Chains A and B, each alone.
Chain A
Amino acid sequence: MNINKWLKITLFTASLLIGGHATADKTLLNVSYDPTRELYQEFNVAFAKHWQAKNNEKITIRQSHGGSGKQARSVIDGLEADVVTLALANDINAIAEHAKLLPEDWQKRLARNSTPYTSTIIFLVRKGNPKGIKDWNDLARPGVSVITPNPKTSGGAQWNYLAAWEFAKRHFGEDKAKGFVSDLYKNVPVLDSGARGSATTFVERGIGDVFISWENEAFLALKEYGADKFEIVVPSLSILAEPSVAIVDKVVDKRGTRQAAEAYLHYLYSEEGQEIAARHFYRPSDEKVAAKYASKFPVIELFTIDDAFGGWKNAHKIHFGDGGTFDQIYLK
């Protein structure tokens, strides 16, 4: 137990040295995951302006990005995040469970399960779609090479896995789902540890016929590398990915930043916050903004993890825990 304390003290001292708390300005630290970097760069500027106008006070928001699970672990180990905006609720659950920095029912505190913007999982294929990939069942076909990260290390990959599982459950029945997902993963030649690594494998190394991707990342790849190289394929069914946000209570109370942190997260739900999210290819939750950007997002039948799997805790235990269904694929 003392080791934890020691670790926290060391990390805290390190953060003091690196962070340089010399400025008197109010600061917030937003600990987020990889693909939100550009989103929060724009959002932070907008929020700082809003805060300045409203309270006549300068505020600086620092942002930290990395794999969602890794970021959650840093917060557990003592990184002083005022707010966390992670890829999946389960990672924030872990902070509540292992470090008790926020109450276990944190998800009820903000609208829509504390999810200001959502996303989903779609496919990126090479130009012309040479393998004729249309839906999830094409990914399990022999001779198709699929790129997806390791769900044990990547939050995004867990969404991919569960979406494939649910598709099989609905089309082939509950008992066939495992066989289907197993066939799909036999088609995966490289299991990178994170979504960005998989994107590199698919885009730069030219490996694989299809890349299972966050919707926003797929749009970003299309924008960055040009529509002459890749195409987006929208499956008939996918999962509603809910990247959640929360205030870290113990940290904001200690640093006296609760008011600002709350305003920061609420601003994500405001019209301007929603607009920024939509511009970065996240699906806005506000109906007015959603209607405005409706043409940008393909229409897919979406299901939630709560409906299909009975929540993250359950899904995680059955599929990604030690000896779970994912482990079983490779042990046969």
Chain B
Amino acid sequence: MSTFTFKQYSILPGFNLALGFTLLYLSLIVLIPLSAAFIRTAELSWPEFCSIVTTPRVVASYRLTFGASFAAACVNVVFGLLVAWVLVRYHFPGKKLIDALVDLPFALPTAVAGIALTALYAGNGWIGQFLEPLGIKVAFTPIGIFVALTFIGLPFVVRTVQPVLEDIESELEEAAATLGANRWQTFTRVIFPAIFPALMTGFALAFARAIGEYGSVIFIAGNMPMISEITPLLIVTKLEQYDYAGATALSVVMLVISFILLLIINLLQWWSRRRSTIT
């Protein structure tokens, strides 16, 4: 941690200014709003806090929020990788168009996405009318939440994996082939280790985005207590009831869980990057 000794000058100029600006910026944009949440929660006593954040309805919502987000992020890792692969490795007409389409979930207001998905998957929608007779209900069930979260998470995986995939030289694969590796071995031993850290980053981003998602989910979820209520909805519900302290208590729990999960993912990524550079 030599960077913290301020006297030691870097070869590059502007260190003090840049670090000062970084700290100020992070404080203004991230730390101060977040600490406001913690301070608000401090209005509650510890037993009050515990009873608010462990009621059965709230616990059911944690399970749904983190479970559906995790499942959606996992699906996005597989299909995001596939999309990135197709976009990098093949040339076909309309490729630019598909490349641009990937970014749409970034730009689209999430409420629009939610309404569109609900219209598609409801019992009288284009897709829903075929699923309903099979006994599969998507809209207004937890499956609908999963679909919405998959939709909004896709670009994160594609956009993190794509540049790394582009950087892998085809010579590496050719070398692997001349050394006797078959195609599967080339993929698992040569390509996959190189893109794994990027894949993890994409996973973490898609996962984090899904946990915080509100706009698209409330339209498709059905919002039934104990079944399809996400934690952000409960936070909004508490706010509607002027229960500011209760709302921030839930946000603090979400913040802490998310932070721990992201920390674990980052550690995993760091570990895999180290391993892949050593071997």
Contacts and interface: CB of A to CB of B under 8 A. Distances in A.
B225 A330 contact: yes
B174 interface: no
B237 A331 contact: no
Contacts of B36: 3
Contact of B122 (A191, A207, A327): A207
Contacts of B139: 205
Interface in A86-104: 94, 98
A280 interface: no
A190 B243 contact: no
B222 A330 contact: no
Contact of B222 (A70, A94, A189, A204): A189
Contact of A193 (B123, B124, B223, B224): B223
Contacts of B122: 205-207
A205 B240 contact: no
B223 A322 contact: no
B123 A206 contact: yes
A53 B135 CA distance: 65
Interface in A108-156: 150, 152-153
Contacts of B152: none
A64 to B, nearest CB: 17
Interface in A1-44: 3
B233 A193 contact: yes
Which among A67, A94, A192 has the greatest number of chain B C-beta atoms within 10 A? A192
Contacts of A250: none
B237 A205 contact: no
Interface in A152-182: 152-153
Interface string A306-332: 000000000000001110000100110
Interface in A273-332: 320-322, 327, 330-331
B39 interface: yes
Contacts of A256: none
Nearest to A6: B36
Nearest to A206: B124
B123 A152 contact: no
Interface residues of B, number: 31
Nearest to B139: A205
A65 interface: no
A76 B224 CA distance: 29
Contact of B119 (A204, A322, A330): A204
B57 A331 contact: yes
A148 B66 CA distance: 28
B123 A330 contact: no
A228 to B, nearest CB: 18
A201 B29 CA distance: 38
A318 to B, nearest CB: 14
B209 interface: no
A78 interface: no
A331 B222 contact: no
Contact of B223 (A3, A94, A191, A205): A191
A50 interface: no
Interface in B179-231: 218-219, 222-226
Nearest to A330: B225
Given A3-B40, A330-B225, A322 B243 contact: yes
A192 B225 CA distance: 11
Interface of A: 3, 67, 69-70, 73, 76, 94, 98, 150, 152-153, 188-193, 197, 204-207, 320-322, 327, 330-331
7 contacts: A153-B237, A205-B119, A205-B124, A205-B125, A206-B124, A330-B224, A331-B57
Given A73-B240, A191-B224, 8 more contacts: A73-B242, A152-B237, A153-B236, A189-B224, A190-B140, A205-B118, A322-B55, A330-B225
Q: Which 9 A-B pairs have the closest CB atoms?
A: A330-B225, A69-B240, A205-B122, A206-B124, A190-B222, A191-B223, A152-B237, A153-B240, A190-B140
